[in-house]
Structure 1
Amino acid sequence: MHPMLLYIAAGITGLWGIAHLLATQGVVKGFSRLSDDNSHIIRMEWIVEGVALLSIASFVTVAALIEPATVLASAVYTVSIATLLVLAVVSLFTGFRVGFTAFKLCPVIFAGAAALIAWGAWF
């Protein structure tokens, strides 16, 4: 058990979630000629991903702070890892194909954070 790795993974995940929230308006404005519905959908999706990342970071942090080696904490780590890996795969097949560099970082950040959680929790 290496709680510091759990905190680092949570920090990376949380910061990337904040980055999503802060970038939302700029991303929406970066599209030309969107319908109001499409603008709202893009805004919603960016906010949802940011909140999801902040939630994962919060769950991992709380589990590591309270009782890092319990069965419940292990379940939190497992679900967090699975969620981050799903986001990494989705990002790999969608955002990774976009020319903007920050989108290419998503799968690396998500998979890296998942690996840090696994390493911190079980190795």
Structure 2
Amino acid sequence: MLNNILIYISSAVIIIWGIAHITPTKSVVAGYGDISRDNKLVFIMEWIAEGITLIFIGALTLLINILNGYQNPASLNVFRISAVMLIIMAVLTAFTGARTKIVFFKICPFVKTIAAVLLLLAVYL
């Protein structure tokens, strides 16, 4: 039961964080001032891609748990692999975006790491 709760919390956190990542895209791009059209398009693409990736990870872990349960060997592998991906994304953000003055970027590595830890706790408890 606790395992399911940990997975649901992790999934919800990452899905919400992904949505929160995508929502302010226009204002974030505008905050970078006058950049070329090509740079804006690449920035928008990458910004949305990270948000979609987070939503995908959250939805994947949620759905595999609902459909197969947390004790299924395939489910356990999905949880582990998703946790690793979240940690990789957290490290990347820690060395890039979190070094800026933007609070959202400073919080991001912690959110991703917490979600990853919750998944790993669900696997190993």
Give the superposition deviation at 1:15.
Answer: 0.4
Alignment map for 1:22-61 (pairs within 5 Å): 22-61=23-62
Unaligned runs of 5+ in 1: none
Task: Please give the alpha-carbon distance, in whole angstroms, between the structure 2 residues aligned to 1:115 and 1:82.
Answer: 10
Deviation at 1:24, TM superposition (A): 0.9
Residue identity matched to 1:98: T
Name the CA distance, whole Å, in 1 between partners of 2:23 and 2:95: 23
Q: Which letter maps to 1:52?
A: T
Q: Are 2:109 and 1:107 equivalent residues in the alignment?
A: yes
Q: Is 1:81 equivalent to 2:107 in the alignment?
A: no
Taking only aligned residues, the RMSD between alpha carbons, in angstroms, comes to 0.9
**1:49 corresponds to which letter in structure 2?**
E
Q: TM-score, normalised by structure 2?
A: 0.95
Task: Please give the alpha-carbon distance, in whole angstroms, between the structure 2 residues aligned to 1:66 and 1:31.
Answer: 43
Deviations 1:86-107 (A, max 9, x none): 0000000001111011110110
Tell whether the 8 Å contact from 2:80 to 2:123 is kept in structure 1 after alignment.
Answer: no
Identity of matched residues, %: 32
**Number of residue pairs matched by the alignment:** 123
Q: Which runs of 5+ in 2 are unaligned?
A: none
Return the TM-score normalized by structure 1. 0.96
Taking the aligned partners of 1:13 and 1:90, their CA distance within structure 2 comes to 16
State the 4+ residue runs in structure 1 displaced beyond 6 angstroms.
Answer: none
